Amino acid sequence: MFVTNYCGWVKFGGAEVQAQQTAYYLEKLGVIVEWFGPKTTAEELKRVDLVHFFGAYDYYYHFLDILQEYKKPYVVSTIFFRKDKPFRTFTFRLFRILFFKILKSHLVEKRIQDLINGSSFYLPNSQNEVKSLRQLYNLNEEKIRIIPNGVESRFIWATPELFLSKTGLKEDFCLYVGRIERRKNTLLLIKICAKLNIPLVIIGQSVEPDFFQMCLKAAGPNVKFLPMVSHDDPLLASAYAAAKLFILPSWYETPGISALEAALAGANIAITKYGGTEEYFGDSAIYLNPYSTRSVESAIIRGLSQPKDGRARTKILPFTWEEVAKKTLGVYQETLNSLKI
């Protein structure tokens, strides 16, 4: 049974894509996937073999007693990264550790630690995520199973014609796809493209209304906002193929499913250096510091000046959802086999 963020399907993002695609390809392998919801009954929960949590959220804590009562094992896709700036890391970590020890029974971190402790395995997306988890939580190294984020192989066949014909754009533009929110650093991206008069297309959903108004105010005629496109809509794949540069200047990414899709479609990639992105893109992407205007500006200029050579596509090809599902099923089998010992 899959359990996801309680409001994730309203503020749809990468974690929801991860759960959705993992379920789809697990079912192709013969796994029956059920989804936990407000109408899930005790009888339905008793029938499942195990539970898979997406995201290490503290409110899952209330579910743990029920799983223990029904003797149901569970695994956790942690989807966890630190948000603080690098130069704050030590001070922040020291403060959190001290505060954690003083008020541990009342903290969110205590509940997340309990969630981690009780899981059969935890499934981070990268070694960098493991490092971030270790900064706040005690981990049993034997329970770590890295399951990468995935991408649908169909994006490799995307062509630019549909998107260009519908928008009237030329191919030398920057593309951003994702939530329009502070963590994604969208405002800085808009300001830089406005300053340089670089065409920028933003496809996404506003989840912070005040921040979105700031983005609209900063945008000039060179910035084109498009509503969120359905993930299955051919227009999305065509947008990736049409863009000269796909950019994610986020504070961190895990590593950004939209960037994986854009890479398969052939776009140049400029992406934050925080959050395990280098483990996926290697030397095929331009890495930027999201806290530096100069760094983001340089990444945009460099990405638009380079030809589209498909290097990122080659790097990303191994990270398909088919492979993710196989690895995930392996963890399920390992979990269930351990109960028989």
How does pLDDT run across 294-308, given as a tens digit for each residue? 999 999 999 999 999
Q: Tell me: do 209 and 121 sit in the same domain.
A: no
- Tell me which residue range forms the domain holding 203: 153-316
- The residue behind tokens 């200047």 is 249
Q: How many domains does the chain have?
A: 2
Q: Pick the range with the lowest mean pLDDT from 122-126, 137-141, 251-255.
A: 251-255
Give the per-residue pLDDT at 254.
Answer: 81
Q: Tell me: do 102 and 245 sit in the same domain.
A: no
Specify the CATH number for the domain of residue 310: 3.40.50.2000
Q: Tell me: do 157 and 142 sit in the same domain.
A: no
Average pLDDT on 21-31 reads 96
Q: Tell me: do 254 and 242 sit in the same domain.
A: yes
Q: Tell me: do 9 and 63 sit in the same domain.
A: yes
Assign 81 to helix, strand or coil: coil
Average pLDDT on 15-31 reads 93
Give the per-residue pLDDT at 250.
Answer: 96
pTM for this predicted structure? 0.82
Q: Tell me: do 272 and 125 sit in the same domain.
A: no
Give the per-residue pLDDT at 1.
Answer: 96
pLDDT band, residue 228 (cuts 50/70/90): confident
Over residues 274-295, the pLDDT tens digits come to 988 999 999 999 999 999 999 9
Contact between 188 and 223 under an 8 Å Cβ cutoff? The reply is: no
Q: Tell me: do 83 and 194 sit in the same domain.
A: no
Q: Tell me: do 185 and 266 sit in the same domain.
A: yes
Q: Tell me: do 196 and 236 sit in the same domain.
A: yes
Strands 74-77 and 223-226, sheet pairing: unpaired
Assign 223 to helix, strand or coil: strand
Name the nearest CA neighbour of 149 among 173, 129, 126: 126
Q: Tell me: do 121 and 161 sit in the same domain.
A: no
Give the per-residue pLDDT at 282.
Answer: 95
Over residues 48-60, the pLDDT tens digits come to 999 999 999 998 9
Q: Tell me: do 160 and 175 sit in the same domain.
A: yes
